[in-house]
Amino acid sequence: MPAEKYKAVIGLEVHAQLNTSTKIFCACRSEYGGEPNTRTCPVCLGLPGALPVLNREAVLKCIRLGLALDCEISFASIFARKNYFYPDCPKNYQISMYDRPLCENGSIDIEADNNKRRIGIERIHLEDDAGKLLHEKGDISNIDFNRSGVPLVEIVTAPDIGSAAEAAAFLRSLRQYVRYLGICDGDLEKGSLRCDVNISLMLRGARELGTRTEIKNLNSFKAVRSGIEFEIERQSSLLDAGKPITQVTQLWDEGEKKLVAMRGKEEAHDYRYFPEPDLPPLIVDDRFVAEAAADMPELPGVKKQRFIDEYGLSEYDAGVLTVEKELADYFESLVTETSDPESSCKWVMREILGQLKDTGITIAEFSLSPRMTGELLILVKEGVINLQAAGAVFSEMLSSGEAACDIVKRMGLEQISSSEELGKMVDEVIAGHKEEVVRYQDGNLQLLGFFIGEAMKMSRGKANPGILNELFKLRLHRRD
Amino acid sequence: MSALTDYSISELQRLYKKREIGPVEVVKAYLQEIDLKDPLVRAFLEVFHESAVMRAGELEEMDPEGMPLYGVPVALKDNISVKDRLLTCGSALLSQYTSPYDATVVHKLIEAGAVIVGKTNLDEFAMGSSTENSAFQVTRNPWDEECTPGGSSGGSAAAVASGMVPVALGSDTGGSIRQPAAFCGITGMKGTYGRVSRYGLVAFASSLDQIGPLTRDINDCAVVMEVLSGHDPKDSTTLESPAPGLVQGIEEGVEGLKVAVPAGIAGWQVEQPIIEFQEEAAAVLQREGATVEAAGLPGMEMSIACYYILATAEASSNLARYDGVRYGNRIEGATLREMYENTRGKGFGEEVKRRILLGTYVLSSGYYDAYYARALKVKSMICESYRKLFKKYDLIVMPTTPSTAFKIGEKSDDPVSMYHSDIFTAWVNIAGLPAVSIPAGISAEGLPIGIQIIASAGEEAKMLRAAGTLERSFSFRRRYLPGADS
């Protein structure tokens, strides 16, 4: 495999749309959507004479991300103009940051291919988004400037990433952070998270870096993985054939599953960065940083460790439950209801995540509150119903929205725990399976489960399995 | 000249409050002046005959109390945005562009009771020193129709000088208010950078641009400046500190002020009569109790190069938006790129294109360090030098321009010589300082001469003390009239 001969050196540039209520430099709503060009004003349309005014909320949210990723927050950062002509860019320059970004020198810990890695974050800075070109049939294009001026943070990694899997893991982790922080919805398909990749190959053990190429337009985790895999493959076959790598920017074509090189002219940019004269340096003092830090939620890694320590969860379970903050919150509320982390964890991992997967909804959209689910688990814990019945009650709760105890009563699912009643069933099973009884008594103890299952069938699932267990053991005990 | 158009702002206010005159008759009188004189002067690009009279009528129903510019007609340089009005910037590219919003200064003028009477001519996008770079017309100097009124706020200066309005606003990036004020024998002021909001001023060089008034005397100037000044949440570069009271300082005199005058002024190729008035200004200030000393003005020789790098760099970016995509006169092409090239190639005039090219060049990779980065260093050196100088002195008093108004066409083929006429003004914008030009007298050819007073940042009030003293001594308005034989 070529990947073993060469070492891939990959860096990502990720753009995340901040979910501020207004745009970065004006008071227009920044929410996604709206009839074209209804969320615009002289500032975000770049009309003559309009001036930008920085949105405080965007700065707070960018700093919060910087703090979460262990960045240094610059006391004085400077906005700069990035000059380029494109019809969706109303001023024909983007207001970004260049040599003095807001956040620098952070990192994210990832795990990919059973390998833990620390990926450096070189910088995080603020900038404004462009409008959107809407191509019609023929040679007509329209422009929607609703997106123009939506705040973006650009996160630039160090070239620390070594594979497509690591890149995807990084992006997943970054998405987890922005969602935990509540600063971006992290939706790649909608474009609220966008990923560009820089990639070069070098011979293993070599010191000199190879020529770097760039891939843009990677709009899904799958695209990130395939794009990188394709490019590694492309570069290594070129190198194998002794051909040079040329600097190029490629677009990922999701439909055709291939990389398309942009024409030289489109990428030969001299952005002529210079300090934005319409905005003074952004001064961030300790008080401002403290304000950003004050709203900081518990971060994914910390939460995961706490779930392991506090609730005794396995690393795997803790990892799954903390992927999304909302799921972790649900789990914790459930534990508060049941005082039973183990059964709560099992129920969320099996039943609830299964349900979410089947129906394609998120935990935020899930109809049962932790209190309702908790009541069900308490019924199990108190022996009112068994686990099997609990599954049925759960389905019924999902469709009818009724409380667990009402369903149990209505469907008559209370567990049978009386020794007398169960004793009759046990006797009946023993009487009906003489052969198995002999085998059991000859030492095939696994048959106990079979007997319990038979009795359970007889009770139409209502028998208390614990008591059945005891009763069978007692009665099948060979008295010799 | 009708007497109604002779009153100063304070006289107008006194008469309005006593109900001896009303805004409608005053506005109509000024509109008549415009109709009479502008066909020759060509200062206006648009006159708001109807809306001005209508607004004056509305004002008659209102109490003048608390409105410092009640019933005062004001003209605006056509790079200042008025809602639903053309905003051409003197450019063919924007000849049909209507702006959907009011500039902050327009808000402030209207709140203060002013009547906007029209838009004045300018060098395209305020780039020029003669108003000859307008795509629409050549404005003439009211003192000599063969001369330019200066620029880029030449339309505003000519309109005030010829009595068509008592007040006009201009913008000053490297002298564009003060130089035409000097050429036209009127008063023109720019505040400390950030004193007046730029929101709604079409940007030429954002870090240098300031809006300011052109008026007939220093008192009118102070009244208007007080209205325009102040922090604006829509312009992040405006000063946080409250604007100082300016009017009262005019009467305070210069007792105890320390004034620097440039040493070796003759070495700057300054015309002799200008040197004489400069010397007279120094003598007057000394006589009135100021200490006057000759001092070297650091960085002046580098300031023009520095200015034309910084200003054109910013301009190249500020003017990128005029691409024919969203507004402006689009000239179609076979491809997007061709459309850009046609629109900008034909829509912009020669001087604007020259500056866009210069600015693009100085920011290009490989040249950035040699030009733009170095100009920034010169800028900070100039700023630092003047911070030091102003620890020793309260004011600098010097000529506004090295020459009086030049002839139309005289410098239009020689951009470097045109750029050089900003030698005494551009450095003030680089240093972000407030400055005012007042008329001192006229040359043998009958052309006005301006004297400029510069203060340290935030010290506009001190500046006006000297301006008031000099104005009383020069008595320019009582002695000279434009168009009259000297």
pLDDT at A1 over 70: no
The mean pLDDT of chain B is 96
Task: Give the lowest-confidence range in A2-6, A253-257, B318-322.
Answer: A2-6
Q: Is B77 a catalytic residue?
A: yes
Cα-to-chain-centroid distance, residue A455? 44
Domain ranges of chain A: 2-291, 300-403, 419-476
CB A245 within 8 A of CB A232: no
| Residues A50-74 pLDDT 10s | 999 999 999 999 999 999 999 999 9
Query: What integer pLDDT is reported at residue B486 of this predicted model?
Result: 37
pLDDT at A395 over 60: yes
Higher pLDDT, A460 or B176: B176
CB B211 within 8 A of CB B126: no
pLDDT at A3 over 80: no
Considering the domain architecture, whether residues B94 and B9 belong to the same structural domain is answered as yes
B237, B336, B372 member nearest A280 (Cβ): B237
Tell me which long-range contacts A285-289 makes (C-beta under 8 A, separation of at least 24): A285/A75, A288/A59, A288/A60, A288/A63, A289/A63, A289/A67, A289/A73
| Residues A80-124 pLDDT 10s | 999 999 999 999 999 999 999 999 999 999 989 889 999 999 999
CB A289 within 8 A of CB A63: yes
Per the structure, the complete domain to which residue B330 belongs is given by 300-378
SS3 state at A51: coil
Nearest C-alpha of chain B: how many angstroms from A194?
26
| Residues B306-344 pLDDT 10s | 999 999 999 999 999 999 999 999 999 999 999 999 999
Indicate which residue of B28, B77, B379, B411 is catalytic: B77
Which chain A residue's Cα is nearest to B314? A277
CA distances from B230 to B77, B93, B177, B223, B344 (A): 20, 32, 19, 13, 36
Which residue do the tokens 């208007």 mark? B224
pLDDT at B485 over 50: no
Overall average pLDDT of the A417-443 stretch: 88
Q: Is B83 a catalytic residue?
A: no
* A167 backbone dihedrals φ, ψ, rounded to 5°: -60, -45
Query: What integer pLDDT is reported at residue B478 of this predicted model?
Result: 86
**Interface contact flag, B321 A90, Cβ < 8 Å:** yes
Considering the domain architecture, whether residues B333 and B362 belong to the same structural domain is answered as yes
Considering the domain architecture, whether residues B193 and B72 belong to the same structural domain is answered as yes
Query: What integer pLDDT is reported at residue A266 of this predicted model?
Result: 54
Please give the Cα distance from A191 to A15 (Å, whole number): 9
Query: What integer pLDDT is reported at residue A466 of this predicted model?
Result: 85
Considering the domain architecture, whether residues B89 and B160 belong to the same structural domain is answered as yes
A45, A50, A277 member nearest B314 (Cβ): A277
Tokens describing residue A175: 């998405």
Parallel, antiparallel or unpaired: strands A249-253 and A76-77 = unpaired
Nearest one of B162, B147, B132 to B39, comparing CA atoms: B162
Indicate which residue of B171, B176, B229, B316 is catalytic: B176
Overall average pLDDT of the B17-36 stretch: 97
User: Which residues, including other chains, have CB under 8 Å from residue B272's CB and lie 6 or more apart?
Assistant: none
> Would an 8 Å CB–CB cutoff place B169 in contact with chain A?
no
Considering the domain architecture, whether residues B159 and B42 belong to the same structural domain is answered as yes
| Residues B205-215 pLDDT 10s | 999 999 999 99
Q: Which residues of A touch B325 (CB under 8 A)?
A: 87, 143
Which chain A residue's Cα is nearest to B87? A48
Considering the domain architecture, whether residues B465 and B359 belong to the same structural domain is answered as no
> Would an 8 Å CB–CB cutoff place B268 in contact with chain A?
no
pLDDT band at A263 (very low <50, low <70, confident <90, very high): low
Helical H segments across A248-386, by residue range: 264-267, 286-294, 300-311, 315-321, 325-338, 341-347, 353-359, 370-381
Overall average pLDDT of the B239-249 stretch: 89
* A24 backbone dihedrals φ, ψ, rounded to 5°: -70, -30
CA distances from A294 to A60, A61, A304 (A): 11, 12, 21
| Angle in degrees, 0-180, between the axes of helices A465-476 and A447-458, rounded to the nearest 10 | 120
SS3 state at B480: coil
Please give the Cα distance from B460 to B219 (Å, whole number): 13
**Interface contact flag, B323 A143, Cβ < 8 Å:** no
Nearest C-alpha of chain B: how many angstroms from A136?
15
Indicate which residue of B91, B152, B197, B421 is catalytic: B152
Query: What integer pLDDT is reported at residue A2 of this predicted model?
Result: 44
Q: Is B81 a catalytic residue?
A: no
Considering the domain architecture, whether residues B42 and B180 belong to the same structural domain is answered as yes
Please give the Cα distance from A255 to A253 (Å, whole number): 6
pLDDT band at A267 (very low <50, low <70, confident <90, very high): low
Considering the domain architecture, whether residues B352 and B424 belong to the same structural domain is answered as no
Q: Single out the residue in B323, B351, B378 at which a domain terminates.
A: B378
Peptide bond into A237 cis (omega under 30): no
* Structural domains counted in chain B: 2
Task: Give the lowest-confidence range in A195-204, B14-23, B218-227, B411-420.
Answer: B411-420
Query: What integer pLDDT is reported at residue A4 of this predicted model?
Result: 74
Q: Is residue B61 part of a domain?
A: yes
DSSP state of B229: B
Q: What is the domain class of A419-476 according to CATH?
A: mainly alpha
Query: What integer pLDDT is reported at residue A479 of this predicted model?
Result: 57
Beta bridge partners of residue A17, listed in sequence order: A152
The mean pLDDT of chain A is 91
**Interface contact flag, A47 B327, Cβ < 8 Å:** yes
pLDDT at B305 over 80: yes
Nearest C-alpha of chain A: how many angstroms from B286?
40
Considering the domain architecture, whether residues B30 and B89 belong to the same structural domain is answered as yes
